[in-house]
Amino acid sequence: MNKINRGRRNFVKNTGALALASTLPISLVELAFAESSQNFSFAYISDAHIQQIKGASFVRNWDRGLIRAVAEVNLLTPKPDFVMFGGDLAQLGSKPELDHGAEIMSALKHKLYHVMGEHDYYLDLGEYWEKLFGPQYYSFDHKGVHFIVLNSIKTYDEWTYHRWPSNEQRMLEMADLDNPNGSPFMVGDEQRKWLKSDLDKLAKSTPIVVFSHSPLQKIYKDAEQIQGLLKPFSKVSVIYGHVHQIQYNQIGNISFNSVMATAWPWPYPSSYAQAQQYLPKLTVPMNRADPFFERDATGWQFINIANGHVDLDFTLYDNNERTVRFNAKTKRPEDNAYQAETSRIPPQSHY
């Protein structure tokens, strides 16, 4: 057993009942680069996509994913200092969906922060979400680490305000996967200005963790400008949801890592063929999920941020475990077992 596995086994052992439930769609994050006397952890849940069918009836499977994550976070030992929800709480941004999601989340026994997802936003541009959860972007300090939350799923005003006959239509267009009518995400001028003034107050050695719903990488319109603002800092990590899969990348001084979803795994069958073109170069694509396992390719991840770099151990239900670690030699995150093209897992063929 190598060092990595040993560390991970210890973590699982310490979590008691948690170890039995091996499909946690959450992350426990330990920030090893905070002052050692102040080391702490936080949990991360993302992409619940609570979806109303009619009245009080909601898609059962999405409900179950979130209910399970909340229950399992409540069992974590050591207790996380706080919980981050990574966005896409709702599927179509409606009050019943957001209310239902908030109600499930209210069983959490920990302080909770929220990130805005596009499925939460495009019905009323975040108005009801703000009433429930507060501002769409903000920052806070915790034990020597500066945390920044951005609304990364905004887009051009022309698309948002002038293109659709109704707010419902706008929401449907943005919710539709790989829809050519969609529009690229961006953070936008207002938040970039705010981010600059927020960062100006910090020493360049301050560890920074940015939470964005979508990855702040090149396919997003103003990603490079945001990366520019973060460039002077020595310890920067961006953690994001939205992609429903394991993804990682290194751009300059910034490590990017995704977390998995509680609702369903990516790739969806119809977009599988597009994986090559959208995945960051380093990423080893996840297998297509087995439709007969409702929790397949959802999972949980233990995250350790040592010296400012995010290392992740992913536990996938009834599937191979994955480990993505920052490689100090190549200075980028890499999959421990599957990084080389020759050692990748062939796509599954269940049907």
Residues that bind Fe ion (CB under 5 A): 47, 88, 117-118, 242
Cα 196 from Cα 175, distance rounded (Å): 30
> What is the smallest separation between the CB atom of 263 and Fe ion, expressed in angstroms?
7
Residue 267, C-beta contacts closer than 8 angstroms, at least 6 positions apart: 245, 275, 285, 286, 288
Least distance from Fe ion to the Cβ atom of residue 9, Å:
31
On whether the CB atoms of residues 28 and 303 are closer than 8 A, the answer is yes
CA nearest neighbour of 278 among 266, 289, 290, 293: 266
Q: Which is nearer to Fe ion, 100 or 242 (CB)?
A: 242
Q: How far is the CB of 242 from Fe ion (least distance, A)?
A: 4
Q: Which residues of 139-159 are buried (b: 16+ CB within 10 A; e: fewer)?
A: beebeebbbbbbbbbbbeeeb
- By the 8 A CB rule, do 185 and 221 touch? yes
Of 116 and 145, which has the nearer Cβ to Fe ion?
Answer: 116
Q: How far is the CB of 59 from Fe ion (least distance, A)?
A: 14
CB of 122 to Fe ion, least distance (A): 11
For Fe ion, give the closer residue by CB, 49 or 235. Answer: 49
51 by DSSP, 3-state: which? coil
Choose between 47 and 296: whose C-beta lies nearer to Fe ion.
47
Please classify residue 321 by burial: count the beta carbons closer than 10 Å to its beta carbon, then call 0-12 exposed, 13-18 middle and 19+ buried. middle
Reported as type and span, the H/E element at residue 226 is helix 223-230
**Order of strands, sheet of 82-85, starting from the edge strand that comes earlier in the sequence:** 112-114, 82-85, 41-45, 26-31, 299-306, 309-316, 322-327, 332-335
According to DSSP, residue 36 is labeled G
Cβ proximity to Fe ion: between 27 and 41 the closer is 27
Q: How far is the CB of 87 from Fe ion (least distance, A)?
A: 6
CB of 119 to Fe ion, least distance (A): 6
d(CA 317, CA 132): 32
Q: Can you tell me the distance from the alpha carbon of 317 to that of 72, in angstroms, rounded to the nearest whole number?
A: 15
Q: How far apart are CA 232 and CA 211, in angstroms?
A: 18
- Rounded Cα gap, residues 337 and 344, in angstroms: 8
Nearest distance, CB of residue 290 and Fe ion, angstroms: 20
Closer to Fe ion at the Cβ: 241 or 333?
241
Q: Which is nearer to Fe ion, 85 or 128 (CB)?
A: 85
Name which of 35 and 176 has its Cβ closer to Fe ion.
176
Nearer to Fe ion, 33 or 240 (CB): 240
Whether the Cβ atoms of residue 241 and residue 46 lie closer than 8 Å to each other: yes
- The 3-state DSSP class for residue 166 equals coil
Shortest separation between residue 286's beta carbon and Fe ion, angstroms: 15
